[in-house]
Structure 1
Amino acid sequence: MSQVLIRLPEVQRRTGYSKAWIYRLISQNHFPSSVKIGSRSVAFVESEIDEWISQRIEERDALISTKPQL
């Protein structure tokens, strides 16, 4: 299985979150952790980020489907 790593700017682009907010979510165990790829660099597993985004969409859809219709 091929695992693709993406860098922080791409994660920020996909989520719309700032660097500080991403690291805050990581510290609260609410976002996928980064992978150390060098002495001073990290990346994120693309499939984990995609799954995290999908979960947010599923949560939204679940809320919408439980709202009473007017």
Structure 2
Amino acid sequence: MPANDNRARLMSVNDVVREIGLSRAELFKRRAAGTFPAAVPLGDRRIAFIRTEVDAWIDARIAARDLRSAA
């Protein structure tokens, strides 16, 4: 995806927590485990996430649920 693609909007940690319905602690736990998209460093103490990657993660959770339901 090109760096200037308008779909690649950044989301703050607070935005991500609201979007995915998990706590900050759980978000950081999954990030450390490599089961959540990597953050983009914005400064010494500030990170963000790429919206399309967060959306893809949500879609994957839904697909996994649907596969379990179909089994």
The TM-score normalised by the length of structure 2 is: 0.87
Q: Which residue is equivalent to 2:43?
A: 38
Which residue is 1:51 aligned to? 56
Alignment RMSD (CA, Å): 0.8
Partner-residue secondary structure (3-state), 2:61? helix
Which of residues 24, 27, 34 in structure 2 aligns to 1:29?
Answer: 34
Could you list the structure 1 runs, at least 4 aligned residues long, displaced by more than 6 angstroms after superposition. none
- 2:35 and 2:49 map into 1 onto residues whose CA distance is 14
* One of 5, 8, 11 as aligned partner of 1:6: 11
1:3-62 Cα offsets, whole Å, 9 max, x none, are 100001110011111111111101111001111112221100000000000000000001
Q: Distance in 2 between matches of 1:60 and 1:14?
A: 18
The SS at the match of 1:44 is: strand
Counterpart of 1:15 in structure 2 is 20
TM-score, normalised with respect to structure 1: 0.88
Number of corresponding residues? 66
- Quick one: distance in 2 between partners of 1:13 and 1:42? 16
Q: Whose Rg is larger?
A: 1
Question: Which structure 2 residue ranges, 5 or more long, are not aligned?
Answer: none
Q: Which runs of 5+ in 1 are unaligned?
A: none
